[in-house]
Structure formats: structure tokens, C-alpha cells
């Protein structure tokens, strides 16, 4: 079983992969364009923050990825 920190890091890695695959090379540009605090979003991608379901849902909704899709691949 993975530790909490490992899960947070894996979530961050997946968010970064999705962001880049959607054409956003910069986390800062993505955060600013979608009204998310830059540091908050950086912490999510870095695995240094435990996102609420609301925050994770919002980011995935922007990318048009469901929670089911997000967690079914690689978790």
C-alpha cells in the first residue's frame, strides 16, 4: 500500500502530465488563465498539497477529465 505522500506525488505527476498534454507548458499560465492561485497549483503538481475533492474536480473539469478516468489510470 502506498503512503499518503506517494499518492499526493502521483496525483501531482498526473496533473502535470495532463496539463502538458493539453498544451499548457507552464503551470503558471494554466493557473492564471483559470483563476487558480499559482502557488496553490504548483503545490498540487509538486505533491506538496493535499487537494480537496472540489479543487481536484475543478482542475480535472477544466481539462475535461473525469475523476473516474483520472483515478483509473495508474492508481
**Contact call for residues 15 and 45 (beta carbons, < 8 A):** yes
Say how far apart CA 6 and CA 32 lie, in whole Å: 27
- Amino acid 73: pLDDT: 72
What is the mean pLDDT of each successive set of 10 residues along the chain, which is 75 residues long? Answer: 94 97 96 96 96 95 96 78
- Amino acid 63: pLDDT: 96
- Amino acid 67: pLDDT: 94
Hey, what's the cell of 57?
474536480
- Amino acid 1: pLDDT: 87
Supply the pTM of this predicted model.
0.91
Helix axes 38-45, 53-63, angle to 10 degrees: 90
Query: Where exactly are the structural domains of the chain?
Result: 4-72
Say how far apart CA 7 and CA 32 lie, in whole Å: 26
Superfamily of domain 4-72: lambda repressor-like DNA-binding domains (1.10.260.40)
Q: What is the DSSP letter of 34?
A: T
Amino acid at each position: 500500500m502506498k503512503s499518503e505522500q506517494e499518492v499526493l506525488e502521483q496525483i501531482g505527476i498526473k496533473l502535470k502530465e495532463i496539463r502538458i498534454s493539453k498544451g499548457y507548458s507552464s503551470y503558471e499560465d494554466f493557473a492564471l488563465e483559470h483563476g487558480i492561485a499559482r502557488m496553490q497549483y504548483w503545490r498540487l503538481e509538486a505533491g506538496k498539497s493535499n487537494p480537496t475533492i472540489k479543487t481536484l474536480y475543478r482542475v480535472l473539469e477544466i481539462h475535461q477529465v473525469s475523476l473516474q478516468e483520472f483515478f483509473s489510470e495508474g492508481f
